Structure formats: structure tokens, C-alpha cells
Amino acid sequence: MKVRITIGLKKSVLDTQGKAIEASLVKNLGYPQISNVRQGKFVEFEIAENDQKIIKQIVDDVSDKLLVNKIIEDYSYEILK
């Protein structure tokens, strides 16, 4: 199975890179309709496991222990076909 974990700053944390990107989109590329830009990262991997419960446990464990800093980040994941 292929898993993609999406990691972003919590909404309560100032996303300075998101703000910089927003300024570029709005001012330099001319899209004032755009607002609230936030950026993050994804980590994708293949996993030799079909049981979705076990996949969730593993995703939560690796997120907790390495991929996500729970003080300032949130994550979600999806299983890709």
C-alpha cells in the first residue's frame, strides 16, 4: 500500500513562509483573490501491510516519534491507490 502523510503547522502558529508565499501570489503574480496561504510538507511511502488498522497504528507511531512535531504541527494521512 502507498501512504501519504501531510504535515502542516497548527492553525494557531504563525506560518511565516505561507505569508511570504501569499505576498508573492497576491502582489507579484497579481491574484488578490488569494488569501490565507499556508504551506506544509508531505511524506509518502510504500508499506508492506494491507490491514488499515495496522497502517494507522504505524502512521501514528512514526508521526509521533519523528515526522511531526506535535507542539506546532498537525498531520493527516491518506492511503493512495
Provide, rounded to whole angstroms, the least separation between the CB of residue 1 and other proteins: 22
Provide, rounded to whole angstroms, the least separation between the CB of residue 59 and other proteins: 16
Whole-number Å distance between alpha carbons of 75 and 4? 10
How many residues touch other proteins under the rule CB under 8 A: the total is: 11
Whole-number Å distance between alpha carbons of 49 and 39? 30
Whole-number Å distance between alpha carbons of 17 and 37? 9
Member of 2, 13, 24, 78 binding other proteins (CB under 8 A): 13
List of residues contacting other proteins (CB under 8 A): 13-14, 16-17, 20, 65-67, 69, 71-72
